Structure 1
Amino acid sequence: MKPKLVITHRVHDEVLEMLAPHCDVIANQTSCSLSRNDTIQLAHDADALMVFMPDRVDAEFLRRCPKLKVIGAALKGYDNFDVAACTANNVWLTFVPDLLTVPTAELTIGLMVGLIRHIRASDQHIRSGYFKGWRPQFYGLGVEGSTIAIIGMGAIGQAIAKRLSGWDAKLIYTDQQPLSAEKQAALNLEFLSLDEALVQADIVIMALPLNVQTQHLINQPRLQQMQPGAFLVNPCRGSVVDEAAVLRMLNTGHLAGYASDVFEMEDWAREDRPDEIDQDLLAHTNTLFTSHIGSAVSKVRLAIEKRAAENIIRVLQNEQPLDPANQLTEKREATCST
């Protein structure tokens, strides 16, 4: 018999065709997420699992799915998946490290420009029926001449910097591991401490993974460090900022605007995550939100799914995956039919 693979969210038909010769595929091809219990019921005897952002795998999940050999995550940030538990249970966890970088950087630029130029408010004004032609309103901040701080200079931070390097803005950044002098010069970047960057920036862009050190890195005291009238853009993980503090600072006017593609309620690994986005934050006029569409480019999503599928196939053929998030010392018996 072929090994069993469960896919938790809809994928392209090409991906199902790619997997069919190797696996007995059980795929959720609806537009809805499976509940945790439904996923476990489907995967309790599965050899492989393809997961997405709304999924969470921990030790209890793995205990109830003892046959799993590989979890192929069709995503870049795998903070919702317990790497140590996967390793302890001899389960490969794989991810897709590179394909999401450019589309996420592109969306970040869109969120930034949309926020600082009041595009949402202006669009709503047009649709209200009150627009009678040009009026002296919706004046915003231009990119040219502004100081933009990028918090985190991994692949996404560098991709954002590359795209902003010709916009005649001052680009500053902070990271635990500064870039080489050559890279800084190529990207027109200046390295500062986090405190210095927050104090100087007109626009702050988050580009960090979520972990214990970065959760609520941007909190009330850090927001107060920012210049009055500065803007905050978050394309990485919701919980790197404290959304309640963001709302308070928006209400005082100290923070001029907040744009985000990600939200605290999505960070399933947090036991204390909120169940929903605060309605007052959603209603605030100086916000711009997108529904976690950083990688939502059709050809990119197909490539991400194919890469996750390739990782799964390799493990089921008793080969090393291309993109492991963990390392296993014990090999499991090959199960893939070819």
Structure 2
Amino acid sequence: MKPRILVTNWVHKEVLGFLQTFGEVEANVTRVPWSREEVVVRAQHCDAMLAFMTDHVDEPFLSRCARLKVIGCALKGADNYDTEACRRHGVALSIVPDLLTVPTAELTVGLMIMLGRHLLEGDRLVRTTPFNGWRPILFGKGLDGAMVGILGMGAVGQAIAHRLRAFRCQISYADDRPLAPAKEDALCLLRSELPRLLAESDYLVLALPLSPASHHIIDADALAQMKSGALLINPARGSLVDEAAVADALERGGLGGYAADVFETEDWALPDRPAAIDARLLNHPRTVLTPHLGSAVDTIRREIAMAAARDIRRFFEGQPLHGGLVGRQPIQPVVLA
């Protein structure tokens, strides 16, 4: 009997076709996520689930989905998935650890340029007022020679640093796990402590996974330590920052701008997460906010979903999971940071 597989969000037809070669597929074919309750009701009758950022798997979810055996997550950061609950219920859990790195690094550089060079303000100006040529306005920050601090130097942090070398940035990083000296030299990196990173950076880029230790690592105290007029860039996880404190800092003028691709409201596993993005961030002229586009490259998204689908197939074939976090061990070690 073929396993029944639930796909909670839209995927490319190639991914559905692959899943259909070994399972009976029930898929969300719209671009709108199902509610949590709808996912639970559907998952109760399924053996496997291809899951995404919009899903939250915890003890109550698994208690209602006793038939579920494996969850293949089309994502890297599994902070919305309770690994211990999966272990207790005997549900295998896998992620896609490597395909998101490059597009996320690309977007990060784009956010830095958009915020530093006032591109959104310039676009609005041209669209809403008569344009009569150059004026001495909207002078901003460039990347050439800028002091860039990267908080977190895992795969994404290193990919960002690699791309910023072309802009001749002076790059420092803070991470509890230092890189090997040869890697630091290759990327032209200087390791620093967080207080110094905050005080000296023209651009502070967040590249940490979300954990209890990193939750609100950029809070009111950290923002007060930042260089006046510095720009904060968050392509990693919304709850690395206290968004209300960021809005306060923008209103006071100490923080020069905030660019984010991720938001606290997305971090479903946190019971005290805000229900919406702070309106002050939405309305402030010095913010650049994008709807979690870090991996939104068409070919990459197809490959991410396909990688998660392949792990589901491996599970039913009795093979190790490439991105396994719970259950059968991965073929190669998975690095989350």
- Deviation (angstroms), 1:146: 1.1
- Deviation (angstroms), 1:133: 1.0
| 2:215 is the alignment partner of 1:208 | no
| 2:195 is the alignment partner of 1:195 | yes
Correspondence for 1:282: 282
- Deviation (angstroms), 1:40: 0.8
Structure 2: distance between partners of 1:185 and 1:326: 36
SS of equivalent to 1:325? strand
Does the Cα contact within 8 Å between 1:184 and 1:190 map onto a contact in 2?
yes
Does the Cα contact within 8 Å between 2:321 and 2:328 map onto a contact in 1?
no
Q: CA RMSD in A?
A: 0.9
Correspondence for 1:127: 127
Structure 1: distance between partners of 2:110 and 2:81: 29
Correspondence for 2:61: 61
Correspondence for 1:264: 264
Structure 2: distance between partners of 1:239 and 1:143: 26
- Deviation (angstroms), 1:54: 0.7
The count of residues paired between Structure 1 and Structure 2 equals: 329
Structure 2: distance between partners of 1:177 and 1:50: 32
Question: What per-residue deviation string (whole Å, max 9, x for no partner) do you get for residues 116-163 of structure 1?
Answer: 000000100000123221110000011112100000000000000000
Question: What per-residue deviation string (whole Å, max 9, x for no partner) do you get for residues 204-247 of structure 1?
Answer: 00000001001100000100100111000000000000100000
Structure 2: distance between partners of 1:226 and 1:170: 17
Correspondence for 1:333: none
Structure 1: distance between partners of 2:126 and 2:192: 41
Correspondence for 1:91: 91
Question: What per-residue deviation string (whole Å, max 9, x for no partner) do you get for residues 144-191 of structure 1?
Answer: 121000000000000000001121111000001010100000000000
- Deviation (angstroms), 1:45: 2.1
Correspondence for 2:224: 224
Correspondence for 2:314: 314
**What amino acid does structure 1 have at the position aligned with 2:29?**
Q
| Bigger shift: residues 318-327 or 22-31 | 318-327
| 2:82 is the alignment partner of 1:82 | yes
Structure 1: distance between partners of 2:44 and 2:326: 22
Structure 2: distance between partners of 1:168 and 1:46: 52
**What amino acid does structure 1 have at the position aligned with 2:302?**
L
- Deviation (angstroms), 1:328: 5.3
SS of equivalent to 2:324? coil
| 2:1 is the alignment partner of 1:11 | no
Structure 2: distance between partners of 1:199 and 1:128: 37
Does the Cα contact within 8 Å between 1:87 and 1:328 map onto a contact in 2?
no
Q: Map 1:294-305 to 2 at 5 A.
A: 294-305=294-305
SS of equivalent to 1:288? strand
Does the Cα contact within 8 Å between 2:320 and 2:328 map onto a contact in 1?
no
Does the Cα contact within 8 Å between 1:93 and 1:325 map onto a contact in 2?
yes
SS of equivalent to 1:165? helix
Correspondence for 2:116: 116
Structure 2: distance between partners of 1:185 and 1:21: 48
Structure 2: distance between partners of 1:307 and 1:108: 24
SS of equivalent to 1:277? coil
**What amino acid does structure 2 have at the position aligned with 1:56?**
H
Structure 1: distance between partners of 2:133 and 2:253: 28
Correspondence for 1:243: 243
Q: Map 1:146-165 to 2 at 5 A.
A: 146-165=146-165
TM-score (norm 2): 0.96
Correspondence for 1:335: none
Does the Cα contact within 8 Å between 1:69 and 1:316 map onto a contact in 2?
no
SS of equivalent to 1:6? strand
| 2:6 is the alignment partner of 1:2 | no
| Bigger shift: residues 271-280 or 146-155 | 271-280
Question: What per-residue deviation string (whole Å, max 9, x for no partner) do you get for residues 89-111 of structure 1?
Answer: 11111000000000000000000
Question: What per-residue deviation string (whole Å, max 9, x for no partner) do you get for residues 65-105 of structure 1?
Answer: 01111000000111000001101111111000000000000
Structure 1: distance between partners of 2:127 and 2:10: 34
Structure 1: distance between partners of 2:25 and 2:328: 25
Structure 2: distance between partners of 1:94 and 1:260: 27
TM-score (norm 1): 0.96
